[in-house]
Amino acid sequence: MSGTRAFKRPATQASRKTENQVEAALDFARNLYQILSSDPHDTPATDSLVEGAKKFIDVLHTSKYLPGISGDPEIDKQAVRLWNICTRLKRDHIGSTADDKRKLKRLRKLFLHGRVLAFHLLVLARAKVLEKGGRVGDVMYLLRLALKAGRDCIEEKEPGLATTLLLKAAEFKGVLQDMGGAMGRDEVAECNCLEVEYFIIRTGLSWVENRLDLAEHMYTKVERLHEFLTPDYAERLADVLFEIGRSMNAKSDFPMAIKWLERANEAINGQNLEDISKEGVELRLAILQALVTALLGTGTQDGLDRATKYVDCIESEIGRKPVVALLRLEVLQKTPAEVFDSDAYGDIIRRMIRDFNHGEAAFKLIIHHIRKLHDKSPAIGSAVLDDLIMVLTKSENESWMEKAMVTRMWMITNQRDTLDTIDAVRGVLSYLSKPLSAEAAVAAQALIWKKIEANYTLAQHDLAECWCGLALHSVFENCGPNNTSKLERNSSEAALSIVQGMSENSWKDPMTAYLAFKVAIRIDDRVLAERCLETVSSMPDHINYLGACIAESQQAGDVYCTLAALRKLQEKYEYKDPNPIHLPALFRCTVRLLNMLVEKQDAEQDRFIDELCNVFDAVVLALENRQQIPAIKNLFTVDEIEWFGRNAYNIALKHTTVWDLRHVVRMLNSSVTIIGHFPSDAGSQAQLSLRNLFSRFIISSALISLARVQDNVEKQQQDYQAMRTHVRAFDGELVDLTHLDGQTKEDLGRKHAILLTFDFEAAVALQQWDDLGPIVQRAIPCGNITAYQAMADSLLRGRVSGQALYSTMRKIINEIWVLESFDAQKLAKYTRCLFQATLPLDDKLAMRLLDEACSKARELREGDASWPEEELEWMASMAFNHGVDCFSSQETERAKEWVTKAINLSHYCNDEGGLERALQERYLRLNFDATSI
């Protein structure tokens, strides 16, 4: 089937509709193939392509043999090409380490949908093989493709697609059963194998759809065909059963997990080990591991005994591998506390230490199990950790050694306090050849301080002094002078004991709370510091104490506590009149501190980014409330307004590529709003306007990106609407910058063109049809052909009304036509696209387009250019076929008009009149005086 040929239409309206749908699907497949043939990472609008493929799959999967369509070699060719390229791209992207995992996932989804669409087109093209007399090999070929694609759909969690494929597979199975008498022995054997694979996939699909009853039924079907389970199919069956069992494990439904995992074990063990692939051997081990976990999860003695036997079995096959050690430890952990074998547990960990591969994961695993052992048997756990420390002395990884040392000290300090305990700590420290890092030293000293406090509280001053002496050991020299000073007897630890013992009445005194805050800062206790700040800030008129807390935390270098104190000041005095603090200065300090924390790559980074945005929002609120709140009316000077606007802009610009786009939008919105409060008679207006323009450009770009991936329709519309507001503001501000240099004007012109394409896309998404024409008009000064092309693409992708589509596209085409860089090829393409989109909606508008196309073709022929041959043939053929449709519907005069115009258009084809003669001959064969063709 070709878009450049006229077809004889079927007689019924339903048939015509189906043929139109098939033609549209074929055009989509061609387009998708062309896109994927280039770099797939540059694939535009991946999600919309997936949706387009879904739409045609829904249409095609119910289609059967269609006269005039089925058997068309063009459909077969395009389907095979699309299937092959999607298969190759999927294979090339397996194991890819692309930076954008979400993009890679969307690409894989596109490849899958492309293959399914190709399959349904192929079925339609080869529908004749399913009729009587078809060849067995052809039916088997289609069945294999259906099963292959269905298996991939289940792996990608696309049960809907898998269902459409398996419905076709079921049809093919039925056809093969009818052909049973004509098959040879090899063909019968292959049919049986394909039937096995069909039921395996149906079992997996039932599980994905959460229908275990149906999965059970399908599994029984597989069992009946057990004799046809080749090693390959046995592995596939075991894999499906393993996934079901593993999911039951995750839900803690252990009896059901055991049932499916044992089935998986039987399937994989039913084959000779030498016939199983490497992946199959690994799957077999994974099944046994999951089965052990499920048996232990039952919490029964029978489950424990069976799990032990399975572990023995694994060990007999693969030896004392790490995985066996872990399973042994898992079994031992489940034994009752009264019979827990600490020695056996310790021996397994020692074996792991001997086989230690000096990897981070292995180190963490060993430490984890040593802690578990210490909970059951402190003495054995400590001894095993000593063995690990001895091994680590030969390692160059200092962080492992420090973590092990801190863990060992934690074990020691949790024992009963004696002088022997302190000697044990000294013995551990002797393993170190140099001082601990600052972080490890502080962690170790924190454990020692707890012992000091406990002994001091119990008046055991001698032991407390021994612990203090130990804390002064040379390995702790990196903890800093402040920490060392705490170790003096009756110093900070004593003060902490007093603070912890204070009554509620004592806490009500702000001076007491302030002194407690000083203690909290020195021992790095943020919870206590927050409590102190809460107490101080709740007292009336005690701003001096909050200021003192800020100074104290700054002196100690504690940014977090400084910020907490600044927050209390802002909450208490933000809009108070008279205000004892200078609000802009408070905001500036907060911004500087938060900006420091934002630069740190840690788990709290997003929280601090959000807080930074909140501060600038507070600045905006204060500026907007200046007229209503006397306390802040004259607080912000011109320099301060400029400072906040500039910093909001610079911070957002610096982090545009790393922050969440919502945060970038918030910061730049604040910058734009703050600049709006800049006095109109102040200097640097041109620079401020440029900053505003760039801010609105980035905001619009961010909002369009957010809207395109937004699943929530309401939020998507809000993003589009907000983006349109910024584009209009960009338009208004651009008018006042006529004095700029040529390079800046050119850059802003490009940005303006991009924003107008965004605005056009948003108007289409929001169905604001009346705005489309004016947007095209606003784009004229830009003279940017790419912008018009993007607008045309948005228009054709959107669900636009017929009149709006026609009028807007005409404006776009006319504007493209007048640009010098435009050519006939592009004009023809857009005219054809508009004609194709308009014809089903309003054939009167489509006829006007046909007249325009004829006029343009004549105009081009009179000049040096010419209308592309294939476009002329396509439009003439489509117009002639539409005339035939009108004739079939008894619209004789309408039919004459369409047919005549089609012949007129074909006159400008450069094929020596071939198409024109063909259409004239068909016209003569039409009897317009009768009621049918």
Give the DSSP H/E element, type plus range, for residue 459. none
The token duo for 486 is 């705490």
The token duo for 350 is 């020692």
pLDDT at 488: 41
C-alpha torsion 790→793→797→801, nearest 10 = 100
Residue of 26, 233, 222, 20 lying closest to 121 (CA atoms) = 26
pLDDT at 75: 86
Q: What number of other Cβ atoms are within 10 A of residue 371's Cβ?
A: 14
Q: Are 2 and 74 in contact (CB under 8 A)?
A: yes
Give the DSSP H/E element, type plus range, for residue 490. none
pLDDT at 721: 93
Task: Tell me, yes or no, if the pTM score tops 0.75.
Answer: no
Block means of pLDDT (10 residues each) for the chain, length 933 residues?
Answer: 42 64 86 81 72 86 67 84 89 58 79 90 80 74 89 88 87 81 77 87 88 88 82 88 89 89 86 81 85 86 85 78 78 76 84 82 86 85 85 81 83 75 77 77 75 69 73 69 44 57 64 74 80 77 73 78 81 57 81 83 80 88 72 72 88 88 91 84 73 90 90 90 91 72 82 91 90 89 86 83 80 76 69 78 79 81 74 85 83 84 82 76 70 42
Residue 57 half-sphere exposure toward CB, CA atoms < 13 A? 22
Q: Are 4 and 874 in contact (CB under 8 A)?
A: yes
- CA-CA distances (angstroms) from residue 67 to 13, 126, 135, 137? 14, 12, 19, 23
For 152-207, give the DSSP string.
HHHHTT-HHHHHHHHHHHHHHHHHHHHTGGG--HHHHHHHHHHHHHHHHHHHHHHH
With a CB cutoff of 8 Å and minimum separation 6, the contacts of 388 are 353, 356, 366, 367, 370, 404
Q: Are 22 and 63 in contact (CB under 8 A)?
A: yes
Residue of 534, 501, 496 lying closest to 516 (CA atoms) = 496
Q: Are 522 and 556 in contact (CB under 8 A)?
A: yes
Give the DSSP H/E element, type plus range, for residue 469. helix 461-471
The token duo for 838 is 């308009």
- Long-range contact pairs involving 386-393 (C-beta distance under 8 Å, separation at least 24): 387/350, 387/353, 388/353, 388/356, 389/428, 389/431, 390/431, 391/353, 391/356, 393/431, 393/433
Residue of 176, 183, 192, 269 lying closest to 231 (CA atoms) = 269
- CA-CA distances (angstroms) from residue 396 to 358, 391, 393, 402, 437? 10, 11, 8, 12, 14
pLDDT at 916: 78
pLDDT at 930: 53
The structure tokens 């077999």 sit at: 284
How far, in Å, CA of 826 to CA of 789, rounded? 9
pLDDT at 97: 47
The token duo for 721 is 């609407």
Phi, psi of 531, deg, nearest 5: -65, -40
Phi, psi of 517, deg, nearest 5: -60, -40
- Long-range contact pairs involving 442-446 (C-beta distance under 8 Å, separation at least 24): 442/479, 442/483, 442/524, 443/406, 444/405, 444/406, 444/409, 444/476, 445/471, 445/476, 445/479, 445/483, 445/487
With a CB cutoff of 8 Å and minimum separation 6, the contacts of 37 are 85
Phi, psi of 87, deg, nearest 5: -65, -45
How far, in Å, CA of 644 to CA of 671, rounded? 7
Q: Where are the alpha helices (DSSP H) in 539-679?
A: 543-555, 559-573, 583-598, 605-624, 638-654, 661-676
What's the per-residue H, E or C state across 764-810? Answer: HHCCCHHHHHHHHHHCHHHCCHHHHHHHHHHHHHCCCCHHHHHHHHH
How far, in Å, CA of 721 to CA of 435, rounded? 60
With a CB cutoff of 8 Å and minimum separation 6, the contacts of 466 are 419, 422
How far, in Å, CA of 605 to CA of 82, rounded? 45
Q: What number of other Cβ atoms are within 10 A of residue 61's Cβ?
A: 19
pLDDT at 453: 67
Residue 635 half-sphere exposure toward CB, CA atoms < 13 A? 26
Residue type, 698: I
Phi, psi of 319, deg, nearest 5: 85, -170
Evaluate the CA torsion angle 70, 73, 79, 84 in order and state its sign: positive
Distance from chain centroid for Cα 314: 39
Evaluate the CA torsion angle 595, 601, 603, 609 in order and state its sign: positive
Residue type, 100: D
How far, in Å, CA of 154 to CA of 208, rounded? 7
pLDDT at 484: 47
Q: What number of other Cβ atoms are within 10 A of residue 15's Cβ?
A: 15
pLDDT at 722: 93
Q: Are 784 and 776 in contact (CB under 8 A)?
A: no
How far, in Å, CA of 63 to CA of 130, rounded? 13
pLDDT at 758: 92
